[in-house]
A and B are shown apart, each in its own frame.
Chain A
Amino acid sequence: MHLISGIQCDNLIVLSDLVKRFQWAGETVNALNGLSFEVSAGEVFGLLGPNGAGKTTTLRIVMGLLAPDTGYAEVGGMRTGQHSSEVRAIIGMVSTNDGVYPWLTVREMLLYFADLYAVPVDRARDRLSTLATQLELGRFLDQRCSTLSTGQRQRVILARGLMHDPPVMLLDEPTRGLDVVGSQTVFQFIAHLKEMGKAVLLSTHRLDEAERVCDRFGLLHRGNLMYTGTLAEIRQATEQKHLTDMFLKMMRDNEQTTGEATWSPL
């Protein structure tokens, strides 16, 4: 069951011609250059790109933390800047930099976030037990968060983003710093989210993992969305078989067009 009932739209996330510029050290940096894509329910969209491509900026605009200069972002049919609390209520956000409260137990922390999202008390308890089973938190549910391992922490943070059962999930580099087993759990869970019909917007640079879990991709480079589509579509467009190769080609192409001599991975 979703918190928003009666959302009459196929695309839970719609980005239309987003432009965002930052003033930095006296210069104008184009963070986003007319970005447009949609994510529908039950779909995992992978936003791929090197560091500084504009992935986090995009997610922050979707979240309503940043206002775009032009264009707009809609979540569940609502403009993110205008209905910020309604939009926030239907989004679950998990980011790499997220932390935990060292002095609280896992249970206390998760129930606190349920309260922040105004989840009724008994429903919060149900969600907690469901998520504890799904993410295997049961063993350390009453342990202080300071005692958790990195993998356990990451699962707690995932659960934190899901306490209010949001129809839209934004995942910002959810596997950074995790070992193979850890990332495996996370990606399995993303697949599970997809089964549950959630719209997932995933930003990552783990191309191999993204290739397996994402339905569609957006290849982002310096604020430009170079390619969008399913793996097959991008394969066709780039004439490359693997995501990694596509990625490198994209960067090369972009450099040729802009004529800038920058660091090349090759």
Chain B
Amino acid sequence: MVPSLTPARLVRLCLKELRESLRDRRTIVTLVLMPLLVYPLLSLVLNRALLTNMTASQPGRMVRIGIASDLDGPQISAALSIGYAMLRDRSYAPLYLEQVIPDKRAEANLLDADSRAALPFPEILFLHDSGRQSLRDVAVDLLIASHTTTDELDLGEDDAGDVRAEDEATEAFDDPEADSTSTPTTLPLAQSPTAGGSSLAQLNPGDLMKVFGQYSVYYRDGDPQSERALQLLERMLTAVNNQVSREMIGRDFSTPFSLAATPVAIKSNYADLLATMVPLVLVLMTMAGAVYPAIDLTAGERERGTMESLIVSPTPSAVILLAKYSAVVTVALLTALANLGAMTVTLWVSGIGKLIFGEGVLSAGVIGIILLLLFLFTMFFAALLLAVTSFAKSFKEAQAYLIPLMLLALTPGVMSLMPGIKFTALLATVPLVNIVLLAREILIGSAEWNLALVAIICNTIYALAALVIASRLFGSDASMHGSKGSWRDLMLRPDKRQTYPTVDQMALTMAIMFPLYFVVSSSLPGFSSDLGTSLWLSAAASWLLILGVPLLATWYRKIQFSTTYRLAGPTGARWRVLLPAIVLIAASAWMIAHEIILLAQAVGIGVIQFDQFERVAEFQERLKQLPLVLVLLTLAVTPAICEEVLFRGFVLSSLHKKSTTWAIVLSAFLFGLMHVLTANVLAIERFLPTTFMGLILGWLAIRTASIWPGMLLHVLHNGLLLCMSHYEDQLKTWNALGENTEHLPVTWLVAGGLSLAAGLVMIKWTNRTQPVTGAMPLPATSTTNSSATSPTTGSS
């Protein structure tokens, strides 16, 4: 009696593992105590690092106001000193203010004795450049950046104009290249107002009038010193305004000085480093959370002497391992959650988060995404841990294996802290680094979805491969029946031949092939700008990796080639039905694929961006310049052979033992996924049509028990599309082709649908009965079809 695995039983099996882990004191320490201790300590260190960089918050330091080089510094400074003197000597402003702008009274009455002592006249710095770097570097607390004269303001500009000007200013501020070379040189000129007070009379009214107008000022958001500087500036200018209004009465200066203040989310120099450190610390803590349960649930079973009783139970050891895996993932996730919570609270309470990421970036959404990334990493790392610890016979042995593993993990972790390291295609395939860097990109708000998806897929593949290895190793030395188990059997060349590849061999092969292929294919455009050469190079990459890796695996593991790749061809008689059927499918499948793309776009999946559309159009233009033979060889024949061998050969054969339907669906899914990522851009729109083709090709391979019909169909399908693109201009002059974004004519679609159905029915039917040539089920369809495709076939 083989016990059936009900979900409820699986859950109970998982619960035992979880219970065992969570009751262990050592798990609780990493889960609860560590985050409680680590983050407050970390925040102390970070605070110090940030404060040495951002001395602004130190009380007692003089407020520094910087004036950009293209402004009239001395005049502005003179005006400010007058304003300060007005504020200090309360005899001036209030009287007038009470009459004219009573609501401003409170504001004008700002400086009482205490705050006067607390707020000395600011240091005014005449900067040698735009001053942005100075504001960032805390050389100044407030930057007076630009000036719009009253005349300019009066030139019919309304509020909208101001807003635009402000936006431009902000943009200019954020432009990283604008000040990349500027040196924050400053010229200090502290011109304290004289004790006797100041009056506009000391100044030349003409000069003063030149500096009237609106000033764009920038202050550091969240920095109290900077905000104080802004307040002070506002008060001083209000005071000046009052005085101007008083002394120059009768002149039309409603507001001589006005301010447009823009907060700037300043990232300190440490911001990038910290944005990397946050996910790195989280990843490392999550790792720490997973390590103990992983050892305890595998090597621990051995040490307690419970392993054998698990192995002798009729429940397969892979199921028991799965329960352990889910428990390790859960504990690690709880650790991640505890750490993320502690970190968020720490960053929030200490105000560091605001300084690193600016306002609102560390939102619930971002935290959620980071948790998802940690989950993804945990999926991989837990499987890796279990693979290592399943191999160990005792706790000590497991720890001895894990120390090098942790050091190995730390190296890329520290590498990701290096300044200026970019999230590249290569790094997107490196475990741990891809998660840390992706999290960094998300934290600083510049994630690229293409690479993000690569990182996600790579992690998933690695996790699966590690899990497959772990389930082989788990309990392997307790059970020595047959040759199953142990590293030896997994890695070395076996003695026995096998008919089909196993799922774990497939997972391992894909885990090796996929990242390699992605890295190689995305680095190819750098080698040559010539399209012809690039095409040959990418074809070579396909031959080497997509074809080479599975073939090598098949040879090395002594898997039979003829069965795995279905090398036996259909008989000559069967070909007579297969051939027309394949032509029918090839001639019509692209129409269905085209409609699938449009349908998907209608629901919002894979909408092609305009620039991407342009790029594709440009690529097609360049393709047209090349000889058609080259294009067909590299883009039709090569992928047809390589991809059929991989997907309809190796992958399909490894899966089809359990269920053919699922094998076809899964191989088609992988086929589709691979095509989304082959190009340098994320071609989501290719997923559905490619998967659709994968379904047809997989079904064809199973139906005909041969790889050759599918290969032929693949060549014809790709070839037809390339020919249509090559002769696009001619086709258009004959009015045979619409725009790419248009639906095909209904008659075409009907013909295509019927032709596809006819082809499929014919193939289904050749397998049942011996083929009788000439008995086409739908002769009418094939005529319609041939007329529809005649321009293409005729010209090629």
CB-nearest residue of chain B to A92? B312
Q: Are A88 and B312 in contact (CB under 8 A)?
A: yes
Q: Are A3 and B1 in contact (CB under 8 A)?
A: yes
A42 and B539 alpha carbons, distance in the complex (Å): 71
Interface: B422 (CB within 8 A):
no
CB-nearest residue of chain B to A94? B309
CB distance from A91 to the nearest CB of B (A): 7
Interface: B480 (CB within 8 A):
yes
**A161 contact set on B, CB distance < 8 A:** 309
Residue from B308, B312, B315, B478 whose CB has the most chain A CB atoms within 10 Å: B312
CB distance from A115 to the nearest CB of B (A): 5
Digitize A173-215: 1 where CB-to-B-CB distance is under 8 Å, 0 elsewhere. Answer: 0000000000000000000000000000000000000000000
Report if A112-B16 is in contact (Cβ < 8 Å); known contacts: A65-B478, A86-B1, A89-B1.
Answer: yes
CB-nearest residue of chain A to B305? A99
CB distance from B475 to the nearest CB of A (A): 10
Chain B residues 308 to 322 lying within 8 A of chain A, measured CB to CB, are 308-316, 320
Interface: A113 (CB within 8 A):
yes
Interface: A251 (CB within 8 A):
no
Binds A, one of B2-10, B84-92, B583-591, B744-752: B2-10
Interface: A117 (CB within 8 A):
yes
Interface: A232 (CB within 8 A):
no
Q: Are B312 and A65 in contact (CB under 8 A)?
A: yes
**B320 contact set on A, CB distance < 8 A:** 116
A interface residue count range (under 10 / 10 to 19 / 20 to 34 / 35 or more): 35 or more
CB distance from B16 to the nearest CB of A (A): 4
Interface: B359 (CB within 8 A):
no
CB-nearest residue of chain A to B307? A99
The one of A81, A103, A112 in contact with B23, judged by C-beta atoms closer than 8 angstroms, is: A103
**B2 contact set on A, CB distance < 8 A:** 85-86, 89
A115 and B19 alpha carbons, distance in the complex (Å): 15
Chain A residues 95 to 111 lying within 8 A of chain B, measured CB to CB, are 95, 97-104, 108, 111
A250 and B466 alpha carbons, distance in the complex (Å): 52
Digitize B720-740: 1 where CB-to-A-CB distance is under 8 Å, 0 elsewhere. Answer: 000000000000000000000
Q: Are A67 and B482 in contact (CB under 8 A)?
A: yes
The one of B3, B5, B13, B20 in contact with A101, judged by C-beta atoms closer than 8 angstroms, is: B20
CB distance from B297 to the nearest CB of A (A): 10
**A115 contact set on B, CB distance < 8 A:** 9, 12-13, 16
Report if A99-B480 is in contact (Cβ < 8 Å); known contacts: A63-B312, A117-B313.
Answer: no
B interface residue count range (under 10 / 10 to 19 / 20 to 34 / 35 or more): 20 to 34
Interface: A133 (CB within 8 A):
no
Q: Are A113 and B313 in contact (CB under 8 A)?
A: yes
Q: Are A66 and B480 in contact (CB under 8 A)?
A: yes
Interface: B612 (CB within 8 A):
no
Interface: B481 (CB within 8 A):
yes
A117 and B314 alpha carbons, distance in the complex (Å): 6
Interface: A237 (CB within 8 A):
no
CB-nearest residue of chain B to A119? B3
Interface: A127 (CB within 8 A):
no
A63 and B314 alpha carbons, distance in the complex (Å): 11
Interface: B768 (CB within 8 A):
no
Interface: B790 (CB within 8 A):
no
Interface: B479 (CB within 8 A):
yes
Interface: A49 (CB within 8 A):
no
Q: Are A116 and B310 in contact (CB under 8 A)?
A: yes
CB-nearest residue of chain B to A97? B305
CB distance from B197 to the nearest CB of A (A): 80
**B309 contact set on A, CB distance < 8 A:** 93, 95, 98, 113, 160-161
CB-nearest residue of chain B to A4? B1
A56 and B16 alpha carbons, distance in the complex (Å): 29
**A117 contact set on B, CB distance < 8 A:** 3, 313-315
Q: Are B20 and A103 in contact (CB under 8 A)?
A: yes
The one of B304, B308, B315 in contact with A116, judged by C-beta atoms closer than 8 angstroms, is: B315
Q: Are A88 and B12 in contact (CB under 8 A)?
A: no
A84 and B357 alpha carbons, distance in the complex (Å): 59
Interface: B207 (CB within 8 A):
no
Chain B residues 19 to 37 lying within 8 A of chain A, measured CB to CB, are 19-20, 23-24
Q: Are A65 and B481 in contact (CB under 8 A)?
A: yes
Q: Are B304 and A65 in contact (CB under 8 A)?
A: no
CB-nearest residue of chain A to B478? A65
A112 and B462 alpha carbons, distance in the complex (Å): 31
**B306 contact set on A, CB distance < 8 A:** 98-101
CB distance from A255 to the nearest CB of B (A): 30
Report if A104-B19 is in contact (Cβ < 8 Å); known contacts: A93-B309, A117-B3.
Answer: yes
A4 and B479 alpha carbons, distance in the complex (Å): 24
A63 and B4 alpha carbons, distance in the complex (Å): 20
Chain A residues 60 to 75 lying within 8 A of chain B, measured CB to CB, are 63-67
Report if A97-B308 is in contact (Cβ < 8 Å); known contacts: A112-B13, A113-B313.
Answer: yes
A113 and B23 alpha carbons, distance in the complex (Å): 19
**A86 contact set on B, CB distance < 8 A:** 1-2, 314
| Interface contacts beyond A104-B20, A113-B309: sample of 20 additional A-B pairs, CB < 8 Å, sorted by A | A64-B481, A66-B480, A67-B480, A67-B481, A67-B482, A85-B3, A85-B316, A86-B1, A89-B1, A89-B314, A91-B312, A97-B305, A98-B306, A98-B308, A98-B309, A99-B305, A103-B24, A112-B13, A116-B310, A118-B4
**Leading 8 A-B pairs by shortest Cβ distance:** A118-B3, A99-B305, A99-B304, A116-B313, A103-B23, A89-B314, A88-B314, A85-B314
**Would you mind naming 20 contact pairs between A and B with Cβ atoms under 8 Å apart?**
A67-B481, A81-B482, A86-B2, A93-B309, A97-B305, A97-B308, A100-B304, A101-B304, A104-B20, A111-B12, A113-B309, A113-B313, A115-B12, A115-B16, A116-B13, A116-B313, A118-B3, A118-B4, A118-B314, A160-B309
